[in-house]
Structure 1
Amino acid sequence: MSFDAMAAAVDWLDACRAGDIEALLEMYAEDAVVSCGCDELTISGRDGLRAYWAARLRERPATELDDLQPSHGGTLISYISGKTVVKALLSFDAAGKIKTLSCGPLQQDCASSC
């Protein structure tokens, strides 16, 4: 069976919407890196990812899917968070784990986004 990056991105968003930090962490490779364009942060390591997602899920929860598109080596997904549409580019390793995540608002107002 081949890996489906689009389905993995939907699973990622579902875990975000459910507030399931453990499910989210399980989706990331051990050496994954998250780059948050809103706060201009780069996060790596399990402890860093756990702290990042705990804050994001509490402060800026995702509500609904806006768009989903394949991207070279991954998936581009956008979702609603508050009054903002957030875009996230997920790339995956050979095992189907998230290797990198780059996110930010579709608009420049980061006050209520990603």
Structure 2
Amino acid sequence: MPTAPATIEAILGMYADDAIVPCACGGMKTISTRQGLRAYWVDRLRDCPASHLDDLNPSVDGAAISYIARDGVVSATLTFNASGKIASLTCRPLN
């Protein structure tokens, strides 16, 4: 099922303009452009949608979460800038 463009735009709206995403899911890559983030999320939502939250640990400047995806548990660490936007998202499979 294709992801609605409004969903992608809502996700992108949560990111700072200079956000970076180091991701080790499906091979190490670092995404650092708006177009790269758009492609990343289109692929991610199509190929590895989350089924439910496994754990959530908020911190002063971000959060560590884990969620269940098709291929297992994924760990993601988010940091936020002073405006509350995602400055970085680091993710990797846990298994």
Fold shared, TM-score > 0.5 on shorter chain: yes
Q: Please state if 1:68 is matched with 2:49.
A: no
Q: Which whole-Å CA distance do the structure 2 matches of 1:83 and 1:28 have between them?
A: 25
Residue 94 of structure 1: SS of its match in structure 2?
coil
Structure 1 residues 47 and 83, CA gap change in structure 2 (3 angstroms): closer
| Count of residue pairs brought into register by the alignment | 89
More helix by share: 1
1:52 to 40, 43, 50: 40
Deviation at 1:72, TM superposition (A): 5.1
TM-score after normalising by structure 1? 0.74
Q: Please state if 1:82 is matched with 2:86.
A: no
1:100 to 84, 88, 92: 88
More strand by share: 2
Partner of 1:28: 15
Unaligned runs of 5+ in 1: 1-18, 108-114
Q: Which whole-Å CA distance do the structure 2 matches of 1:24 and 1:45 have between them?
A: 14
Q: Which whole-Å CA distance do the structure 1 matches of 2:71 and 2:32 have between them?
A: 28
TM-score after normalising by structure 2? 0.88
Deviation at 1:70, TM superposition (A): 2.0
Task: Give the aligned CA root-mean-square deviation in angstroms.
Answer: 1.4
Partner of 1:6: none
1:42-95 C-alpha deviation (Å, 9 max, x unpaired): 001110100111111111111100000023521001111014010100000000
1:21-56 C-alpha deviation (Å, 9 max, x unpaired): 111100000000001112200001110100111111
Q: Which whole-Å CA distance do the structure 1 matches of 2:20 and 2:83 have between them?
A: 16
Deviation at 1:20, TM superposition (A): 1.8
